Structure 1
């Protein structure tokens, strides 16, 4: 499917941005940078806005979700926005009983770690998400409208000539991470319920993964169709798996989820300048997992353009494990954001240097921004990344 002409990629607003170019393996004038969980608890303006509003309610209130998404773009001058949502939002939208408890995370009314529980879940048609996604479509539309109306900041790099507008990244939780929460009925340290179901009842496990894959895929597709210029799949808990279990019991579902985005493409003028001759490019897709140093090659093989790397493995080592030609994203240890500036500056420069091992690099953290982070430090890191890489 070709995205409509007004989509930021099709309109040329984000197709040549630093971020999108990096995701397709091209280095631009400076290294692009954004932060996982850049929108949220580290920002005082976020905390002020969220007073009296529960997390999932904030995600489903379009004006609020859009404002929260935009706050770090305005403050830090990052090269991308990441849509403010939560991995359980699509579950909530199709009627699964889930709430996010402060200090704990997503909690369900029950666990779904047996065939009966899986049958109850999979009786819900994932296509219901399309009918319930109006708040997501509206929120993304609001974000994109502001990003398109505001010239890019240049990220603080002197003499920057950044084209177009700042792209928005859509995101969703990977099928395994959703299944891990569902099987346990909430957060878990070892995801034992999910891993047990995987082997004790492979049929139920496949049904659960097929269902979460379709739900996640539809959620990603909704965001891209509404105006997101890239899609990122988060597999927060894949690091609990062996490589064999990941390849056999998880990768097929992640591949299925991304299939809902892979058919989305945009047209660009031919390199000769002939407006009548147009080439097509697919929407860039990123895959990130926590503790997945042993899975990086398999994570790329599900069909992604860029692999996100957590802080446990250096980028040059990750590049060797994944293979040539794959752009990387990451991977500053979030703990360093609280270190003295000389220590942090040295670590940022080291990440940039190791990122040279890949054809292109998007600077990010190796996980999310800690809530106690001083926002001025993040702004300063963005400036350093742009100036040091220019």
Structure 2
């Protein structure tokens, strides 16, 4: 049974604090397999981690949510540290990813971000036309998002070099999908309507979000994030021509702002039709969903980019033997270029921990230089 390193603090301390981690976490040699793979170096095996590994499928995380709420966990560096470390301790993944949410930067804009239990994010004051842009607050990233940077520093301290830490943000298009709709949406009527009715006005919002994201990600890197992943969860809403016109320019603006400080990863969901555009992105790693074999993706994007993914998250709901078989097939399909083993989307909440462990163990036992 996994140990919990979350303990009740004393009087006058924050409500929760991270207890000292066992010596084994700080005494191991630095595991830089993930970073070497991101750089396209030949590695002894593919590194492995899972999107949304920090959180919902782990009983340790659910125990925390019995005491507090999601946004409080994000806002409390001690709690964000604990949740980030949980999959590293339990599963032995090759990279940690910061526990946060892609919508946190919206807190700097004064739009009223909240997460209702069981209903997802809610935006009190959506932005649905260019006239609404004047009502946005001027971002103060260090002041309003300092808790994220504090969490990054805390996580790096506690990891003590065991594995690298990935920071992240949503792409402007994906963040706008929530900001414009006022939360989650089935049809994205407001966003798509604005994109046709006034594309220049929407482009102004996306540019504004891009500049905010640059400051946010630079803050993460300066605090200690060793790689950055951009999540374009809603890029698949657009055809290739409109993705290039609307979603791509703010992403390029972000990447130019980041420079070459750390390896960069770009994930798009439902983006098989965007592959020729994705191949042009100046990123180190393309993370793809489960809908297309990696070998087919590589035929389009070439061997110049490392691929990340792309086991169907639903496969982890089967038996451990089935997970192992599908993971071995994934590793075989990933040959022929750089590969970081991951899922094609976030791990599902009902995933048995034993199946997640089977996925990680199968990758880590694969061997063979790549």
Superposition TM-score, scaled by structure 1 size: 0.84
- Within 5 A, what are the aligned runs for 1:52-71? 52-71=67-86
The answer as to whether partners of 1:65 and 1:139 remain within 8 angstroms in 2 is yes
Displacement of 1:14: 9.9
Equivalent residue in structure 1 for 2:242, among 242, 245, 264: 245
- 2:47 corresponds to: 32
Q: Distance in 1 between matches of 2:218 and 2:279?
A: 20
Q: SS where residue 324 of structure 1 aligns? A: coil
Deviates more, 1:109-118 or 1:196-205: 109-118
SS in 2 for 1:212: helix
> Equivalent residue for 2:24?
none
Q: Within 1, Cα distance between the matches of 2:30 and 2:86?
A: 23
Q: Does 1:327 align with 2:342?
A: no
Evaluate the alpha carbon distance shift between residue 45 and residue 15 of structure 1 in structure 2; reply closer, same or farther with a 3 A threshold.
closer
Partner of 2:358: 380
Q: For 1:369, what is the secondary structure of its paired residue?
A: coil
Q: Distance in 2 between matches of 1:15 and 1:373?
A: 29
Residues 1:206 and 2:203 aligned together: yes
State how far apart, in whole Å, the 2-side matches of 1:263 and 1:383 are: 32
Q: Paired residue for 2:297, among 312, 318, 335?
A: 318
In structure 1, list runs of 5 or more residues that go unmatched: 1-12, 149-163, 265-282
In structure 1, the residue matched to 2:3 is none
Q: Is the 8 A contact 2:156 2:165 kept in 1?
A: yes
Decide whether the 8 Å contact of 1:352 with 1:389 is kept in 2. no
Deviation at 1:226, TM superposition (A): 0.6
Q: 2:49, 2:94 within 8 Å by CA — same for their partners in 1?
A: yes
For the residue of structure 2 that corresponds to 1:166, the secondary structure is coil
Corresponding residue of 2:220:
223
Deviation track 1:268-306 (CA, whole Å, cap 9, x = no partner) reads xxxxxxxxxxxxxxx100000110111133234232110
SS in 2 for 1:321: helix
What is the SS of the residue equivalent to 1:388? coil
Pairing 1:1-390 to 2, within 5 Å after superposition: 17-121=32-136, 124-126=137-139, 128-148=140-160, 165-264=162-261, 283-358=262-337, 360-390=338-368
Determine if contact 1:333/1:367 at 8 Å carries over to the other structure.
Answer: yes
Task: Report how many residues are paired.
Answer: 341
Determine the C-alpha separation between the residues in 2 that align with 1:246 and 1:103. Answer: 31
Mapped contact 2:323–2:358 kept (Cα < 8 A): no
| Offset from partner CA, 1:161-213 (integer Å, 9 cap, x none) | xxx63000001011000111111111112323212211211221111101111
8 Å Cα contact 2:111-2:125 kept in structure 1: no
Residues 263 and 346 (structure 1 numbering): CA distance in 2 closer, same or farther, change over 3 Å? Answer: closer
Secondary structure at the residue paired with 1:250?
helix
Instruction: Summarize the Cα distance change of 1:106–1:180 in structure 2 as closer, same or farther, 3 Å threshold.
Output: same
**Greater shift in the superposed pair: 90-99 or 225-234:** 90-99
Q: Is residue 331–residue 365 contact of structure 1 (8 Å, CA) maintained in 2?
A: yes
- Once residues 109 and 30 of structure 2 are traced to their aligned partners in structure 1, the CA distance between those partners, rounded to angstroms, is 33
Asked if the contact 1:14–1:20 (Cα under 8 Å) also holds between the matched residues in 2, the reply is: no
**1:386 to partner: Cα distance:** 0.9
8 Å contact from structure 1 (residues 331, 351) kept in 2: yes
Larger deviation, residues 22-31 vs 286-295: 22-31
Decide whether the 8 Å contact of 2:316 with 2:323 is kept in 1.
yes
Aligned to 2:23: none
1:332 to partner: Cα distance = 0.3
Distance of 1:102 and 1:259 partners within structure 2: 37
| Per-residue deviation, 1:347 | 1.0
TM-score by length of 2: 0.88
